[in-house]
Chain A
Amino acid sequence: AQSVTQLGSHVSVSEGALVLLRCNYSSSVPPYLFWYVQYPNQGLQLLLKYTSAATLVKGINGFEAEFKKSETSFHLTKPSAHMSDAAEYFCAVSDGNSGNTPLVFGKGTRLSVIA
């Protein structure tokens, strides 16, 4: 079965600094990988997804993620943090062979941005 590990339950960065949120996955088949963002008291919003096309995936709000099969990683980055990026971020893997199947989520990383 697929699983996801997010390193660091809380990450704090200064405004303008690089954001790096780590995600490692375990999957027996080529995975579909996702990053979601959750703002306080809201549902989850899709940031980006990997579906075996380009290994560098660009998403909304300036975020991107790189799929590295050799490291089983799918880390999320943003070159310059903004105050509005403060939220909880979830990495997820599709428990199947398409994006249209249940997701297995990591436990989440809360991002704080310091002025």
Chain B
Amino acid sequence: NAGVTQTPKFQVLKTGQSMTLQCAQDMNHNSMYWYRQDPGMGLRLIYYSASEGTTDKGEVPNGYNVSRLNKREFSLRLESAAPSQTSVYFCASSDRVGQFFGPGTRLTVL
């Protein structure tokens, strides 16, 4: 039981490049989330998916798109990366107990 896994762990992009962050969970959770963590800002919600086939915007969705590929997988795409998107990205899934987080992806945009 791996919990929530994220790939890659680290990534460096140039401004304007695109990439997809992958997330998968093996806990059979319906709800999944993408957050970004910046120093002194806590975690802020980018997008979430309450169930397979549905997605909703969070607090900071601009510049991102998501895909809930199936119940297990929830990906986050940056179409044209900007330096302001330099951050640590966390994926999470939840049940009634609470949210369970992956190890994070550290992204630097130059």
Contact = CB atoms under 8 A, between A and B. Distances in A.
Interface in A29-55: 34, 36, 42-46, 49
Interface string A85-115: 0000010100000111111111110000000
A34 B101 contact: no
Contact of A105 (B43, B50, B100, B102): B43
Given A99-B94, A100-B31, A100-B94, A46 B99 contact: yes
Interface in B30-60: 30-31, 33, 35, 40-45, 48, 50, 58
Contacts of B4: 43
A46 B100 contact: yes
Chain B interface, DSSP helix/strand/loop, else mixed: strand
Interface residues of A, number: 22
Contacts, number: 59
Interface residues of B, number: 27
Interface string B76-93: 000000000000001010
A112 to B, nearest CB: 16
Nearest to A42: B103
A102 B42 contact: no
B95 A103 contact: no
A43 B93 CA distance: 13
Contact of A43 (B42, B48, B102): B102
A14 interface: no
Q: Report which residue of B31, B35, B44, B99 has the largest number of chain A beta carbons within 10 angstroms of its beta carbon.
A: B99
Which 10 pairs between the two chains have the least Cβ-Cβ distance?
A43-B101, A105-B42, A107-B42, A44-B101, A105-B43, A46-B98, A43-B103, A102-B45, A102-B48, A100-B94
Interface of A: 9, 34, 36, 42-46, 49, 90, 92, 98-108
11 contacts: A42-B103, A43-B4, A43-B90, A46-B97, A46-B100, A92-B43, A99-B99, A100-B94, A100-B95, A100-B96, A105-B42
